[in-house]
Structure 1
Amino acid sequence: MILRASVYFCLVLCSIILLPPLCSTAQTWTLLPTLSLSGQYDDNVFFVAEDEDEDDDYASIVQPSVTLGYQSELTRLSAVGDVTFLNYLEETDLDTTKYRFRLNGDTRLTERFIVNADFRYIRDTLLDSELEETGRVFDSEDRDRYNAGGGMQFNLTELSSFGASYDYSHTDYDEEGREDRDFHTVGAFYRRSFNEGRDSLSIRPAYRFRDSDTVETDNYMLRLGWSHQSSEIGRLTVLAGGRYTEEWRSGQDKIDNSGFVAEVDYEKEGLISSFRLGYRRDINYDANDRLREIDHISARFNYKLTERLRFGLDGNLYFTRRERDTDDQDTRFFSIRPLLAYYFTENHSLQLSYKYSQEFDESRTGDETADRNQAMLTLVFRFPQEL
């Protein structure tokens, strides 16, 4: 019921966003079909520790996708959908099909008032989602996630604005024994620009409610933000503050705790190279329904060696701790991936990449470290069109 109501709320906002294009004359529609064909070698497909039997295998990955975009003087819309077919040569039980869809947009209803809406659906595996969200390694089990939300921004003056947003998230696990869960997040902000727009300060309160059959959580946050345009191609963004969390678990006493939350991003985008460095600290629930505090450091670097040859490098480092005071619950995950891409044309390329991943988990009874090496060769075909 809550999911249907939230999706309906998002669709109503999307309809509001879609109304202005009907009477707009300056419109641009774009369509981008893409096809990605990959062959992959994985020397540890189950991502197990070194003292267990490591199984290697080859896999084929086929990923068609399509992006539809719309832009006018007042409105921007984007719809993205893709399907990923992953098939292994020997470990066929790991074969899976993943789906991703996103619809989002914003429109300026008046000179000062802007509204936005967003809907997302993802079907993937815990091995994918948990690594991205918590930095922890789980089995390759399927899950579905739905997100629906929207927000508004009102510009008080040329230098100041305030806004509010709401987001609903529902996660549905295929495996029995894992609890489906719902998240409700409400946030607001006030922002003031100065120094000719190169700097801005903001204050951002937020409340998040999490609910499942056995756990309820209230999380209150207050963050202060600073954004600085260091150059024409560089920007630093900092959000930092505190949180207070209350957790009710069936059959146990209420647990409350507080902590530090932060988001730091530095981006530099040039014609030849680009660089991004990020840091996050927050809390989240893993697939075992355990509350974790997560520190995540990420980096990405791209460089154009020649007009056709490009190099990329990205890495991630996670430190994850269980919020309850228990021993042997810390984990660490690290990955690094260099990539070399050759562009036959502006839209068609051949990419060669290698990824090394390592997880350290204190809760393991034997060897606490698991390593993984993956090599991938990918052909990418893009067919951009203006409608």
Structure 2
Amino acid sequence: MPTVVTERSRSAGYAYAPVYLIAVRQSLRYSNTTSDYLNTIFKYFNTTFKYLNTTFKYFNTTFKYFNTTFKYLNTTFKYLNTTFKYFNTTFKYLNTILEYLNTTFKYFNMTLRYLLLNNPRLNTSEMLPIRLFRWTLSSMETTKLVARCREEKTSVHGALCAAFLLAIAAEVKSPNEIILKCRTPVNIRKYLTIDVGINLGEYIARPSTAHRLSQRTDFWDLAREVKDKLNQVIANGKLFDDVLEASALLSSNSNKDGKTSHPRDVKGTDLVITNLGNLAIKQEFGKLQLQELYLIATAPKTLPLSIGVATLHEKMYLICRYQESLLPSANAYNIKNTAMQQLLTALA
């Protein structure tokens, strides 16, 4: 059925047409603006992606440089490691060379001492001067030392030897282990088959004990070791070995050419300690009073260090004899001070 357009409807349609046209135009404008905004946004995205791409390229290049740098560092560390290995090997060789030189100087020193002592034209008293100094332990320190030695199952002599051996090792300042030899004059009267009573004579044996020391050596362990090794010498029947050697030397004809040797050679000996123990001697003799007593065993001039110890009325008296050409005075006093510090520290 055809549509009938009346005047009213025609006029109404014409009335709405401009409104539609305005709405369409506004829609077109918004669309246009939206397109512009979208276009601008796409441009910004495009620019951002370009910047990101450039940034990634820079990162890639940076990582390549880092990788190359790490490779160079790795190579450098390898070269440094190899260099340190060579340095370590070199220091080992240098240490070996120094040890050989030290041994050589020792033999040279021994040879020089032998030549000096066996040259009758030289005055060895001036060339090899003997020095002495003395000191005392109080009655409280002496009593404490005796009691502590009993607790530690060792002897006072063992503790004294330990103190001076550790002091010598400290003076040497060696980072490695060292071996020191200590001689102990022993009264052999009670070991003789013939009773010599109070007859005058050198009834002394001088057994030598060797001790390995390091920076970790314990004081009381070393003191017990000294005592055990001396007891082992006696138990093994070797107490008279040096006496027999001296007797054989004195009865030989080795000095026909004018050369003499000491009947009890001390080559290689680092220390001699004579401990007479607790002496039962009066202190008063009429108007005279015995205040101090210092005694030491005889020894050849080639002995660098000797210590004499005697205890009288609960006080310990010590005397140090040293060969100045072999042991300078500063070192001798350092050894004494360090030994006493070791001893008193062990008693604390």
TM-score (norm 2): 0.25
Larger strand fraction of residues = 1
Larger Rg: 2
TM-score (norm 1): 0.23
